[in-house]
Amino acid sequence: MKAKLSVDNVGGLKGHNQYEFESGKLSIIEASNASGKSSLVKALASVLSMPSDGEMTPFVTEEAKQIGIKSDEKSHQEGFVNLHAKMAEVQLDLGKEKISYKVDKDGKWYELPLIGNESFLLAGILSKDCKVLRQLRAGDDDFNWAVTYLSFAKYYDQVKDLAVSRKELIEVGKYR
């Protein structure tokens, strides 16, 4: 199966650009400087990570700003929407489903992916600017955030408390 990525006015990519990726194969993006490699990564990360309600948690929002998916007035990176455009659009066609993200320069979205998962930004290693690689380069070995944001371990205490509260019923077989 091939996935088709359509990118309109994202980062340094002006106009309409289309890319194909084949399932089960590694895709390596090689090109000269300022040719749009980082913009392609931004586009793919945005359509896979933007939640269906458009709201990211503050922790993930900081990561999205770092990568360049969300605008940040303090950042010197090029914005998500191309400098010469008013709006950017990304569409990922997976055959059976199409995932779309459409946003204007001010960050107002017009279309959001239905299956986006913000944790993708934390788990993905799409670029040298991802959180995991930045943290490793800095020599920081505290990855507690990974447990908090990427696993179900954060629910351990809740499940344990529920089990303890139902212990007697469980022991006599009245609660299953």
Q: What is the pLDDT of residue 174?
A: 60
- What is the chain's mean pLDDT, rounded? 82
pLDDT of 76 higher than 50: no
pLDDT per residue as tens digits for the range 140-163: 878 777 767 777 666 777 777 777
Length of the chain: 176
Q: What is the pLDDT of residue 81?
A: 92
Higher pLDDT, 134 or 73: 134
Residues 25-66: pLDDT tens digits? 888 888 888 888 889 988 998 998 899 898 888 888 888 888
DSSP label of 118: T
Q: Which strands form 87-93's sheet, in the order they lie side by side?
A: 16-22, 2-8, 87-93, 98-104, 109-111
Higher pLDDT, 143 or 21: 21
**Of 176, 2, 4, the residue nearest 90 (C-alpha):** 4
Query: Model confidence over 101-119: pLDDT tens digits?
Result: 999 988 888 999 988 888 8
pLDDT at 22 over 70: yes
Taken in order of first residue, the domains within the chain and their CATH numbers are: 2-141 (3.40.50.300), 143-176 (no CATH)
